[in-house]
Amino acid sequence: MGLLIRNGEIVTASERYRADIWCESETITRIGSGLSAPPGAEVIDATGKYVFPGFIDPHVHIYLPCMGTFAKDTHETASKAALVGGTTTWIEMLGPDRSEEPMAGFELWLGKAQGHSACDFTFHMTVSRYDDAAEKQLIEIVRRGVSSFKVYLAYKGAFGLTDEDLYKTLRLARKLGVITTAHCENADLITALQTKLVAEGKAGPEWHYESRPPLVEAEGVHHLLTFAQVNDAHVYVVHLSCVEALREAVAARYRGVKVWTETLIQYLLLDKTCAERPEFEGAKYIMSPPLRDRANQEVLWNALRDGLIDTLATDHAPFDFASQKRMGEKDFTKIPSGIPSLEDRVNAFYTYGVKRGRLDLHRFVEAASTQAAKLFGLFPRKGTIQPGSDADLVVYDPAYRGTLSMRTQMMNVDYNPFEGLAIEGRPHVVTVRGQVAARDGKFVGKIGRGRFLEREPNHF
């Protein structure tokens, strides 16, 4: 038994060298040259290939009720897609709304994932209401291994917190040593702009952008960071999309606010003109915050390179174009929000980041894996390659050439937002805790083997 990965070029956030990796049961136990495998061990030849730590997507939605329907992926289909694309761990938004009890939500989401996922997983716990009962349950949920919160400044009435509750949530987070992730857009401004646009007959998907302009996001970021500063709390801005919002985050960081930021592969490669496509096709590209003007992309890339933006995620939330997106045919506010991308994040980031010279291999690994592991209490179990770490490895073939397409994807949705996009590299072999789970675009793992990763608070 055991797994030997031979002759690969190991690349972590800080190192690059050629060596063999020996994995026993679920763990990396030796790294060196000329390692030999005992009889019965599985040997993978990684000559000419990189070996990366398993990639981590810190922001996905899998079980996602939305406007009377559900996002299309199950934990089974999503974990297949993740693994084929090199993502071995994800952090799912655990999202009870304000009418539901936090603990009931925790049990529901955990039950949906456990026994149904092939990759490892954990959650950000949504705080949509704050009272004594909720507080007690949140403390218990943190004790059970979920050491990050999620708050929404948008979506008032469903998930959005009042300022009073936002203050109390961040105060509790500070006390427990928990980081709070946040969707930053001003809810009332969005509602006002949506109402105005629809009343003017501006109801097509191209108007979604106008209802949530960059200023609305920048205000949300500033708002969150003011509350974070007052509480001395650790916060993480999810899906940062534009220069205006980035400016607020950077300014706060330099005045001492403990803030980290995430952007998405969609914002780096797609822009607002996608949502303006005719025949309602723009609906495929509706997400919030919206895709932005192309001029933002170079800034986001550079900020990612320099670490002003910390992580790259997907906010994966797939809805079928033929049926679900059509719910908003007469009114863009009823289009389910989300652009599927869980499967394609790593390959697109490698191709358009590393191969195009926008960032180096180390920063690529850091932004797509290591940094999320460190921020969310998974490091060094995940996010790096060293003895003692979980044997989550991506043997990556930089010679592969292909295109992204709905026809070949594992994601359970009827379109691919990057249809036809060329990629230059993809995982040859992907392992989860010492077992091969994907090989050359095919899933070969075990559904249900994915483990709930319990995380300690106070790991900063």
Angle, helix 243-254 to helix 214-231, in steps of 10 degrees = 20
Stretch that binds Mn ion, among 179-187, 345-353, 411-419, 440-448 (CB under 5 A): 179-187
- N-term to C-term CA, the chain: 36
Which residues on adjacent β-strands are paired with residue 151? 182
> Which of residues 12 and 180 has its CB atom nearest to Mn ion in the complex?
180
* CA–centroid distance for 378 within its chain: 15
Instruction: With beta carbons less than 8 A apart as the criterion, state whether 241 and 215 touch.
Output: no
3-state helix/strand/coil string of 330-343? CCHHHCCCCCCCCC
Spell out, one character per residue from 285 to 324, where the chain touches Mn ion: x when CB under 5 A holds, - when not: ------------------------------x---------
Give the Cα separation of 205 and 460 in Å (integer).
41
> What's the closest the beta carbon of residue 63 comes to Mn ion, in angstroms?
13
> What's the closest the beta carbon of residue 316 comes to Mn ion, in angstroms?
8
Classify strands 402-403 and 393-397 as parallel, antiparallel or unpaired. Answer: unpaired
Asked if 73 interacts with Mn ion (CB under 5 A), we say: no
> What's the closest the beta carbon of residue 387 comes to Mn ion, in angstroms?
35
Spell out, one character per residue from 330 to 369, where the chain touches Mn ion: x when CB under 5 A holds, - when not: ----------------------------------------
# binding residues, Mn ion (CB under 5 A): 2
3-state helix/strand/coil string of 11-59? ECCCCEEEEEEEEECCEEEEEECCCCCCCCCEEEECCCCEEEECEEEEE
> What's the closest the beta carbon of residue 153 comes to Mn ion, in angstroms?
10
> What's the closest the beta carbon of residue 418 comes to Mn ion, in angstroms?
19
> Which of residues 49 and 150 has its CB atom nearest to Mn ion in the complex?
150
What tokens appear for 7 in the block? 């002759």
Helices (H), 114-242: 132-143, 163-176, 187-199, 208-211, 214-231
> What's the closest the beta carbon of residue 187 comes to Mn ion, in angstroms?
12
Spell out, one character per residue from 127 to 146, where the chain touches Mn ion: x when CB under 5 A holds, - when not: --------------------
Q: Is 8 helix (H, G, I), strand (E, B) or coil?
A: strand
> Which of residues 70 and 400 has its CB atom nearest to Mn ion in the complex?
70
Residue whose token pair is 């010679």: 399
Give the Cα separation of 56 and 48 in Å (integer).
24
> Which of residues 44 and 269 has its CB atom nearest to Mn ion in the complex?
269
Stretch that binds Mn ion, among 84-92, 175-183, 382-390, 434-442 (CB under 5 A): 175-183
E-strand stretches of 61-206: 65-66, 69-70, 87-94, 120-126, 148-156, 160, 179-183
Near Mn ion in 24-63, by CB under 5 A: none
Q: Is 228 helix (H, G, I), strand (E, B) or coil?
A: helix
Near Mn ion in 223-282, by CB under 5 A: none
> What's the closest the beta carbon of residue 95 comes to Mn ion, in angstroms?
9
Spell out, one character per residue from 182 to 221, where the chain touches Mn ion: x when CB under 5 A holds, - when not: -x--------------------------------------
Residue nearest to Mn ion (CB): 183
Classify strands 259-264 and 311-313 as parallel, antiparallel or unpaired. Answer: parallel
> What's the closest the beta carbon of residue 59 comes to Mn ion, in angstroms?
6
> Which of residues 3 and 317 has its CB atom nearest to Mn ion in the complex?
317
Residue 177 φ/ψ region, left for φ over 0, alpha for ψ in the -120 to 50 degree band, beta for the rest: left
> Which of residues 245 and 395 has its CB atom nearest to Mn ion in the complex?
245
CA angle (200 as vertex; 199, 203 as ends), nearest 5: 80
> What's the closest the beta carbon of residue 151 comes to Mn ion, in angstroms?
10
> Which of residues 98 and 358 has its CB atom nearest to Mn ion in the complex?
98
Classify strands 402-403 and 422-423 as parallel, antiparallel or unpaired. Answer: antiparallel
> What's the closest the beta carbon of residue 150 comes to Mn ion, in angstroms?
8
Residues that bind Mn ion (CB under 5 A): 183, 315
